[in-house]
Amino acid sequence: MTTNRTTDQSNTTNQTVISWVKEMAALCQPDTIFWCDGSEKEKAELTAQAVASGVLIKLNQEKLPGCYYHRSNPNDVARVEQCTYICTSAREEVGPTNNWAPPSEMYEKVNGLLRGSMRGRTMYVVPYLMGPSGSPLTKVGVELTDSIYVALSMRVMARIGDAAYEQLGNRADFNRGVHSMLDINPDRRLICHFPQDNTILSVGSNYGGNVLLGKKCLALRIGSYLARKEGWMAEHMLILGLESPEGEKTFVAAAFPSACGKTNFAMLIPPARYKGWKVWTVGDDIAWMKPGPDGRLYAINPEAGYFGVVPGTNSKSNPNAVKTIERDTIYTNVALLPDGDVWWEGKDGPVPTECLDWRGNRWTPDSKEKAAHPNSRFAAPMMNNPVVAPEANDPHGVPISAIIFGGRRATTLPLIFQSFNWSHGVYLGATMGSEMTAAAVGGLGQVRRDPMAMLPFCGYDMGDYFAHWLRMQKLTKTLPQVFHVNWFRKDEGGNFLWPGFGENMRVLKWIVDRCHSRVGAQESALGWVPKVEDFDMNGLEGFGPAQFEKLQSIDTEEWKSEILLQDELFKNLRATVPKELILQRELLASRI
Ligand code: GTP
Ligand code: SPV
Ligand code: MN
């Protein structure tokens, strides 16, 4: 083993990093410090160690080469918004939708928990990049963690190792992240962001979004805070490119709340009748967008892997994801088969007669509980994706033609409509609602407002965030067109009205045609909608103009209550909601 007790064997010459690690080691008192370099040799060494200590189980290497299995503590299976804090000097800065604490108080509290927390453990020093190497948008972070599972997951999710030190050079502007599992006690679980210090402290959890600090903590909460200061956007969005048979590539970004279809949409395979059309994935969860030299918005995916929802993944819903997770993947909280394969509800093939569930208990088809946790996840390298866009590694990013908002709504929201203009588009994002999912603890199924899918991830006041969106008009020459979709509308019997998944191509096609002014539209109270003759229903079994009308219907009574619900959020944010959005609300009410 190449671990050492001191900081002497650091693999960087950056003095700020070295002295900060020294300081944190003095606080946490790990037995050893392991400086990650990102090499293959290191991966083999850490993986072997994780298997030896029971943190990972080696899966059937014939079926799943390079794949491993992890079970989390059953009390630690999702993000915990009630334990997530933004700590800035002024409370007003974070607004009413974030938990706040004064930085000094929170440092004292968390440092108290960190004191001696790594005794008997190893502290892994994980330097990483959020963004392609060499991109002006890319940020450097260093995460210190006492979880080997986190160290191994970080190397899937981000570009880690020497590349990060190279990009940093001898500067001091890296994100400082410290993570300690403590005893995985929900009562001592805190995820704290200090945007003014570019610092994150996370304790008491070992679950993805709480502990892979580059992802939600840096790329979104701290990211959005920096983005406002620096004139760019950090968003909870997938990025995809649609290529036509003639080779025209159009890039779009879409914000859907957690577990509402980003990964699936980003990896979509067009139905057979779209011969020659192809969807390329740039990213599946996060977009950083900045005005480019031509005045358009350019987006990068800061991540290098996908941390995706497993249940429901199969060769009908998402064939590209199935291929992506066949190798080099860490599975968390799915079910384990006797032959070292994995299983989950909605997987291809037969339901197993027997397996171990996500808790490790014997499971049979008669069991009442699910075998895989509804928020079980895969961590897989994006380069495994058969349709990963070559641009995913392009430091310049891709020009965005459309922004798509969407939630999970059984009623009220039609399949597709387009905003009248940018302010109206910002209003659509700001008033987005969605039924809550298993990705966060609490409230399952309830509709809540989730502006731009950023409610849990915006690092400052939501009203100021809306103002920043509106301000993008001044910082750009050409803004993307804005659309709203809903894949989840249901009929009276509770069945989805829209087949979704690959068939979402039909909606995407209309969106892209609108961006290129190739198709007309019809005005409605909500925005521009497709003319029924322009919407491609060819080859959709049991789906025709009548079904389309139903999906697109605007129910006045439902919309009256929807406007009242939208108002609740605005009332909560009263002080800072831009007047432009209040005006949009009045315009909508009068149209309805
Ligand atoms: P996070 O990783 O939590 O941010 O989630 P995500 O937005 O990437 O969601 P994902 O694509 O993993 O989908 C979540 C769930 O929605 C899965 O159970 C999918 O099967 C389901 N889903 C995705 N797309 C569709 C769709 O078009 N129609 C229907 N009915 N379900 C969908
Ligand atoms: C989400 O909840 O939006 C996720 C999963 O993408 S996590 O990384 O855990 O936040
Ligand atoms: Mn997400």
Q: Are 392 and 301 a contacting pair, CB within 8 Å?
A: yes
Q: Are 18 and 93 found together in one domain?
A: yes
Q: Are 207 and 240 found together in one domain?
A: no
Q: Are 504 and 366 found together in one domain?
A: no
Average pLDDT over residues 251-270: 98
- For residue 301, pLDDT over 80 is answered with yes
Q: Are 457 and 579 found together in one domain?
A: yes
- pLDDT for the residue 574: 76
- pLDDT for the residue 1: 39
Average pLDDT over residues 388-411: 97
Residue that the structure tokens 């603890």 belong to: 441
- pLDDT for the residue 486: 98
Q: Is the beta carbon of 193 within 6 A of some atom in ligand 2? A: no
Q: Which atom of ligand 1 is nearest to the CA of 236?
A: 4
CA pair distance 226, 224, nearest whole angstrom: 5
Q: Are 152 and 56 a contacting pair, CB within 8 Å?
A: yes
Count how many domains the chain has.
3
Told to judge if 355 belongs to the known catalytic residues of this protein, a careful annotator would answer no
SS3 category, 379? strand
42-79 core/surface letters (b: 16 or more CB in 10 A; e: else): bbeebbebbeeeebbbebeeeebebbbbbbbeeebbbb
Average pLDDT, the chain: 96
Q: Are 526 and 542 found together in one domain?
A: yes
> Among the three residues 230, 254, 272, which one is the final residue of a domain in this structure?
230
Average pLDDT over residues 61-82: 97
Q: Are 216 and 152 found together in one domain?
A: yes
Q: Are 20 and 117 found together in one domain?
A: yes
Q: How far is the CA of 123 from the centre of ligand 3 (A)?
A: 27
| pLDDT one-digit tens code per residue, 2-45 | 444 455 688 999 999 999 999 999 999 999 999 999 999 999 99
- Confidence tier at 575 by pLDDT (50, 70, 90): confident
Nearest CA to ligand 2 atom 5: 209
What are the angstrom distances between the C-alpha of 135 and each of 164, 256, 302, 468? 12, 26, 10, 23
Q: Is the beta carbon of 407 within 6 A of some atom in ligand 2? A: no
* Residue 139 tokens, joined: 């940020």
In a domain, residue 65? The reply is no
- pLDDT for the residue 4: 44
- Domain of residue 367: give its range: 307-380
Q: Are 272 and 204 found together in one domain?
A: no
Nearest ligand to the CA atom of 260: 1
Q: How far is the CA of 489 from the centre of ligand 3 (A)?
A: 21
Question: What kind and span of H or E run contains 105?
Answer: helix 103-114
Q: How far is the CA of 213 from the centre of ligand 2 (A)?
A: 11
- pLDDT for the residue 7: 53
CA pair distance 210, 205, nearest whole angstrom: 7
Q: Which of 28, 260, 458, 515 is catalytic?
A: 260
Q: Which atom of ligand 2 is nearest to the CA of 453?
A: 3
4-8, 179-183, 546-550: which has the minimum mean pLDDT? 4-8
Q: Are 293 and 324 found together in one domain?
A: no
The enclosing domain of 339 has a CATH number of 2.170.8.10
In a domain, residue 161? The reply is yes
The enclosing domain of 444 has a CATH number of 3.90.228.20
- pLDDT for the residue 3: 44
- For residue 61, pLDDT over 60 is answered with yes
SS3 category, 583? helix
- pLDDT for the residue 581: 96
CA pair distance 29, 117, nearest whole angstrom: 7
Q: How far is the CA of 586 from the centre of ligand 3 (A)?
A: 32
Tell me the angle at which helices 462-475 and 223-230 cross, rounded to the nearest 10 degrees: 40
Average pLDDT over residues 238-267: 98
In a domain, residue 64? The reply is no
* Residue 51 tokens, joined: 């298997």
- Confidence tier at 494 by pLDDT (50, 70, 90): very high
In a domain, residue 318? The reply is yes
In a domain, residue 66? The reply is no
In a domain, residue 457? The reply is yes
The one-letter amino acid code at 498 reads W
Pocket test for ligand 1, best of 256, 263, 333 (most atoms within 8 A of CB): 263
Average pLDDT over residues 229-251: 98
In a domain, residue 163? The reply is yes
In a domain, residue 179? The reply is yes
Q: Are 364 and 321 found together in one domain?
A: yes
Q: Are 85 and 161 found together in one domain?
A: yes
- pLDDT for the residue 42: 97
* Ion ligand 3 residues within 5 Å by Cβ: 258, 285
Q: Are 529 and 570 found together in one domain?
A: yes
- For residue 442, pLDDT over 90 is answered with no
- pLDDT for the residue 5: 44
Q: What pTM was estimated for this model as a whole?
A: 0.97
> Among the three residues 329, 352, 380, which one is the final residue of a domain in this structure?
380
